[in-house]
Structure 1
């Protein structure tokens, strides 16, 4: 074989190897997966929340990321009661149907969110024809009809439901919502019972934010214990995990995981994001009713995120995922609250008009460097 031919063959072999390596990096392999859902497959579901543009297929880039990276989905808004039943007895299921069909067509774990929540319930739910609060009996009947109609429609298709959302305050006391004021503490028990009757095979969850606050954690634990003592079917507790760069501490989150798991239920990270923006108040949680007037000083990263802040965000995600991996035997799902930074509610809450960077994918739906690091962490944890 002459020298020229040897060089040519060597070059071809090198090119083939390079192409193979590049393709492996793009597609991943069993030993080196390139996507989140594969890396965490034997640990917990990796999920994301979908908005209407994604559910309706109008955002192809986001949909591509969802299909490639995640194996669990939840609807960000379209399954809340104000959208499903805007007027009494008039149900609107078009968007919810599309959401469920998307999850089914992509073989995903589907979560329904949320059946009973004070914040995005339609006004008619609590009022009579004269604008006065309805009786306990009327509100219970409306709850029963709403839950039964919605859960029955997706019986056997939706795997788990956020039955009740945010009923406990940070101080551990019960939130005095309309549900609480009119029905009392039994509204949660009734909600879970109605959901279980409509689909006995569905998992049923309680979901809340700031669960790492000790007083709130204790309040939730006591509430769940009380439900369990009454024989109520509750399968999991969702920690929303709307975090800041310096709050809460990983140690307090770990205490919450252990406390919730000690109740014999699944623990789920249900709405994770990490804001990089300065809080407009010293005490800021994830209470959607909190709103502040726009302040330019509170919006420091309009054009891009500085490298040092990006590193802080990456490190924060690494810390939390290291914790979730440590307790993978207790955690059944980790869900990011949005696909890309531009989708996040953090851009408009608690102050409208800001630019935040709280998720794992940027505004062009490109993975941030930490995504690869999380995949590596998961593989090293096998």
Structure 2
């Protein structure tokens, strides 16, 4: 596997850290990355607090359990390119250094996305000006980290639910050719990195068809595309394994790898049949929509564990097609789902709880491998 190479002796440091944390978890001989090392990478999304290593227990957990990392927010254009002529690389540099020193697979997320854009982009009205922004942004960001990123999420969430192209500022001003332009720019700026198209709900038939069309057009035009990222923001109450399996097969038949890039499973009610990760969707707070404010009932813990086990059984069945499974957050406290699509809810979508301890879901995922 294509991890960062480093000669620094970090293993002894990690061992000392492990011994300093007197918890039963730290003494366990198994970890996610170790039991799945022959199958696919196991990743997590890092926030600023993780990149800066502010919490010793979280830092040890990340290094112990994961061999791939994605930046949660700090490489999105709003933060890394805040004004037309200025960039803020401070935390992004530290993120790359974190991956390097810990021999991890490092993902750049994301180069072109219609959301979380710098304020000045909203004032752009001409195709030429937007093309200059996109070109300079990709050249500068991907160029800075050329040879240091294992992969880039080049274009993020370009599709509507029906599989048509989203009417973003990029489509409106540049036409559908902006996707090819973005991939070609990324390939030139960082030729060694794998290039991915990333989106939510593309396991669903209509949107999957749109993603396949994007990939086929890129391939037909000679553009480099190495993989597709299915985000995996799903619910324990409506997990459609059939759609997910059909998508793994359909995308892999295009000759590319499939990654699950932002995996989490909400346990909370969803009365609107909301699916996916459109960050603009918001709903009013109601007590009945926040039923587990203080703790998650054991019965729901079990359901969450069963759903994760079902998913990973499917992933293992298609291990030859899958490059990476990345959880969108380190632990439940860190999850974006605590505030989406309703603020101030308490969610429990990941494998580690708010105290950074493994949940039933963690053990269910581990047991799929160690019980054999």
Normalising by structure 2, what TM-score? 0.91
Contact kept, 8 Å, 1:85 with 1:92, in 2: the verdict is: yes
1:291 aligned counterpart, secondary structure: coil
Deviation at 1:25, TM superposition (A): 8.6
Kept in 2: contact 1:325–1:378 (CA 8 A): no
| Alignment of 1:34 onto 2:30 | yes
> Does 2:104 correspond to 1:108?
yes
Check whether the contact 2:234–2:275 (CA below 8 A) recurs between aligned residues: no
Q: Does the aligned pair in 2 maintain the 1:280–1:292 contact within 8 Å?
A: no
Equivalent residue number for residue 90 of structure 1 = 86
**Is 1:124 paired with 2:120?**
yes
Return the alpha-carbon distance in structure 2 between the equivalents of residues 26 and 195 of structure 1.
Answer: 40
Tell me if structure 1 keeps the 8 A contact 2:301–2:361. no
Stretch of structure 1 that moved more, 47-56 or 372-381: 372-381
Q: Check if 1:346 corresponds to 2:337.
A: yes
Match of 2:318 among 297, 321, 327: 327
2:276 paired with 1:285:
yes
RMSD: 1.7
- Aligned 1:205-224 pairs, distance under 5 A: 205-224=196-215
Instruction: Pick the aligned partner of 1:361 from 343, 352, 363.
Output: 352
| 2:258–2:323 contact (8 Å) kept in structure 1 | yes
Distance across 1 between alignment mates of 2:76 and 2:310: 32
Q: Secondary structure at the match of 2:192?
A: coil
Distance 2:319 2:253 in 1: 14
Local SS of the residue matching 1:277 = coil
Query: Is residue 2:290 matched to residue 1:294?
Result: no
Measure the CA separation in 2 of the matches of 1:344 and 1:172: 28
Task: After superposition, give the CA deviation of every residue in 1:45-69 in whole Å (9 maximum; x if it has no partner).
Answer: 0000000111112222211110111
Alignment of 1:238-257 (within 5 A): 238-257=229-248
CA distance in 2, matches of 1:379, 1:257: 25
| Shift, 1:115, TM fit | 0.5
1:51 to 43, 47, 50: 47
Runs (4+) of structure 1 moved beyond 6 Å? Answer: none
2:163 is aligned with 1:172: yes
Indicate if the aligned counterparts of 1:340 and 1:359 stay in contact, CA closer than 8 A.
yes
> Which runs of 5 or more residues in structure 2 are unaligned?
1-22
Counterparts of 1:130-145 in structure 2, within 5 Å, are 133=125, 135-145=126-136
Q: Which protein is bigger by CA-based radius of gyration? A: 1
CA contact (8 A) 2:158 2:199 kept: yes
CA apart distance, 1:380 = 5.2
Partner of 1:75: 71
1:189-228 aligned within 5 A: 189-228=180-219
- Structure 1 residue matching 2:351: 3-state secondary structure: coil
Give how far 1:371 is off: 1.8
Distance in 2 (alpha carbons) for counterparts of 1:208 and 1:179:
16
Picking from 265, 268, 276, the partner of 2:267 is: 276
